[in-house]
Amino acid sequence: MEIQKAEWKDLPGILDLQKRAFSETAQRYGDPLIAPLTQTLEGIREEFHDSVFLKFETEGRLMGAVRGKIEDQTAFIHRLVVHPGFQDQGWGQKLLNAMEKELSSAERLVLYTGHKDIKSLHIYEKHGYQAFKEERVNPRLILIHMEKYRN
C-alpha cells in the first residue's frame, strides 16, 4: 500500500469514503448536515481542479484520502479520511505527511477539525500544529483552526 495522487475516476469513491468516515463525526455532533456529508459529486469535481488529492488503496479498494491546495504561500489541508477498518494504524499520519510534502512550497500549513475530535486534535498537535482560531459553526460544533510554519 502506497500513497499516490488520486485521479478524476477516484472521486466517486473518495466522496463515498468521506461520507462514511464523517457519518460518525456527524453523530458525535448531532448534526447530519455537516459539510463533508452534504458535498456532492459535482462539488468534489470542482474542488479537484485546483486541489491536490492523495489516496491509498489496498487490494484495489480505496482506504484513505486527503486533499489540499496552496493559496498565497499557505497550504490548506482538509478532508483527511481513513476507512474505519484502517484507523489507528498510522494511515492518517502517513496521509498528512504525504500531503505536507506535496505542498512543500508553502510556508504555512493550515487545517481544522471539530472540537470533539480528540484523536484528530492529538495527531495534528503531534505534527506541530497549534490552534489559532475557533469558529462556531452551530450551537453544537466549534471548528478548531490549526497552523504550523515551516522552519
pLDDT in tens, 110-131: 999 999 999 899 999 999 999 9
Distance CA 52, CA 111 (A): 15
pLDDT at 30: 86
| Average of per-residue pLDDT across 29-48 | 92
Distance CA 108, CA 75 (A): 6
pLDDT at 85: 84
pLDDT at 72: 93
| Average of per-residue pLDDT across 80-90 | 88
DSSP secondary structure string, 85-121?
A: GGTTTTHHHHHHHHHHHHTTT-SEEEEEEETT-HHHH
Distance CA 24, CA 38 (A): 14
pLDDT at 38: 92
Ordered by start, the domain boundaries in the chain are 3-107
Question: Which of these CATH numbers, 3.40.630.30, 3.40.50.1820, 3.30.70.1140, 3.40.50.2300, describes 3-107?
Answer: 3.40.630.30
